[in-house]
Structure 1
């Protein structure tokens, strides 16, 4: 018995009329659901394409490579639109930006020892099975070229029964690798790892909470400044996506002279903004702020940047503190910035730019701003996690 796919869920699954969820199908397709829960497509739609990666059916890293770019862009835009309009907010869409294939500069991979050495890759969806991904269409070629180093690290770090997590980041000076493992770092191991980093020309190698060696500064370019963020710390997934977000923020500064950057991280927005405005950067991670400060001090042509270590979830900036600034930039984690947005709403601030990796918490926080008299001027959708259900948002708010 054949069935029609009714819609695509936010997780990238096709949904049938009875609620059944099926992988790798598209709305409007006539399918037959097989005994193992997979689908045989009887009548494909025009947006079905051949997956660009040969690992798509086995690897859990991507969800919608079977759909055209046009479809994926529309689907992700609709995810944001549904979240926003569910709060009775307008949806003033301005731009949609999608990062190109082979542009992911940061990835969290898994490593497992094998009889012949080691395997590094992504897990199959909802499975412990590890999939080798030699032709991955997400990662920068520089990261793929670093797999021999990751495999060598796996042989050292993993037992026969355990996996290791490998966070690898492409920097201006080579790969920055962080190994999360149960194996304890001692003197002989430190020497062995330093030799491995030398042999594979790694910029930096960290083992759990310890930096084993920094051969070259693992720099990222934030505006006019070079910054070496802490090992395995947050970083926008692609340079193209980051630039789209930065351009959106810079384009909305207007006549602002003093800007507060809330949840600033290591300076993704603070340092580009500092080319035009004074910036006060606030972040809960002291190491990230130290990296930001060093980057600012070594750059030229930037206005004053001050930093403050502060947990904005437990102790948000109060209205009288916010009133010292012309504009606030907020880029919170997935949980959003509910407490901080409440004090922004109670302040005299006239302009807010909000960046979010979660459309649902973004819509909640945007609703609080609109209730306080702000208008959403525009909203951009930024897709850094190509072929996945993840999507980011940046929007400008002006108090009317």
Structure 2
């Protein structure tokens, strides 16, 4: 370890300040461009000891758990950056990723996300000899910082934090940490624990007793198994009610989901036959079915069943067909794609390279690419552009407030 004074040149992709030195770049969390800081340096990593010059873009963090001088929560990394430069940083993540692949399409303004909008959050939980820890890991560690509030999470989650703790306590044993995903639904909170060792009868009874004594908990599951379900959790996809399976993928905020869905619907327009790939529980498919016949393809069977059931139980939709298929190993071929006027795809962070290669060979007129990873989105868009698609626009969406993660929606057509 060495101590040195550096000037921060820019922000890196993770939101860390980057200083260029004779020994190479050093990455300094919580430092901003233009700041001069004394750091304790460990290789390419630096920790701020003191600040000689402060950026005018620095603001006071919103959350008491954010203070890097104390036991700081690692859930956020950019609360100290003022709103306008923060938005520029998020948008630039998308611009830079596209430029690295030789793409310079129009990139729209960032669709902003406000505090208190996160309807889904994942807590880390561990029981110690003294207490139950429920919160978020300190940055780049397994150390759990127990929280009392979170300005990112929705009031519907934060107002029931003590209830969540009681359920977590019933699930927890002395054997290690686990994750507890909490989703706010129309009928109550859906709690899905993952990474637990098999539960004993005592734990199971404890969970059931805890939930039945509480209000506002719709379901609790562990490792995909439903332990207790006073009410089926229900979410609203554009007026279509869906009961997703335990731990199912869900857009982090309802506001971001609605904004992305509006872009999808506007671009597909009057398409009569639409293909929704990586369809999940129907985020886009069920909205699209208001005006088009939809074929929804998803690799996770339980999510697909939830989508199918919702479509069957909702009046006023066009026909919705479903198909369970691993799109990484068996993408729809260019020949199969000929049946569709428009294609929407929203893959995991790894992107959809195999499927995009087939899509690039197809004659589909309109394509919407939704992604939570600008790097794999840029790779996939490069393939589509090389296949003859024009990129009309790319819209960055900030549903992961104060983090270095950004969603994006790309609209393409032949």
TM class by shorter chain equals over 0.9
Corresponding residue to 1:89 among 92, 98, 103: 103
CA 285–39 in structure 1, closer or farther in 2 if over 3 Å, else same? same
1:315 corresponding residue in structure 2: 330
**1:145 is matched with which residue?**
159
**How far did residue 81 of structure 1 move?**
0.5
Is the 1:25–1:41 Cα contact (8 Å) retained in structure 2?
A: no
Match of 1:297 in 2: 312
Q: Which runs of 5+ in 1 are unaligned?
A: none
Equivalent residue for 2:17, pick from 2, 5, 14 = 14
Equivalences, count: 399
Instruction: Provide, for residues 58-79 of structure 1, a one-character-per-residue CA deviation record: whole Å limited to 9, x for no partner.
Output: 1100001100111111011111
Unaligned 5+ runs, structure 2: none
Alignment of 1:1-400 (within 5 A): 2-18=5-21, 19-34=25-40, 37-57=47-67, 58-115=72-129, 117-201=131-215, 202-399=217-414
**What is the CA distance between 1:385 and its match in structure 2?**
0.6
Q: Is residue 118–residue 152 contact of structure 1 (8 Å, CA) maintained in 2? A: no
Residue aligned with 2:110, SS: strand
CA distance in 2, matches of 1:134, 1:91: 43
| Contact map agreement 2:270 2:291 (CA 8 A) in 1 | no
Q: Deviations over 1:198-248 (max 9, x none)?
A: 212210110223101221121111112111111111110011111111111
Q: Structure 1-normalised TM-score?
A: 0.96
Displaced runs of 4 or more, over 6 A: none
1:115 CA displacement: 4.6
Structure 1 position 126, deviation (Å): 1.4
Query: Residues 171 and 203 of structure 2 are in contact (CA less than 8 Å); yes or no, is this contact kept in structure 1?
Result: no
How far apart are 1:134 and its partner, in Å?
1.1
Rounded Cα–Cα distance in structure 2 between residues aligned with 1:277 and 1:261: 11
Q: Is the 8 A contact 2:31 2:48 kept in 1?
A: no
- Aligned CA RMSD, in angstroms, stands at 1.6
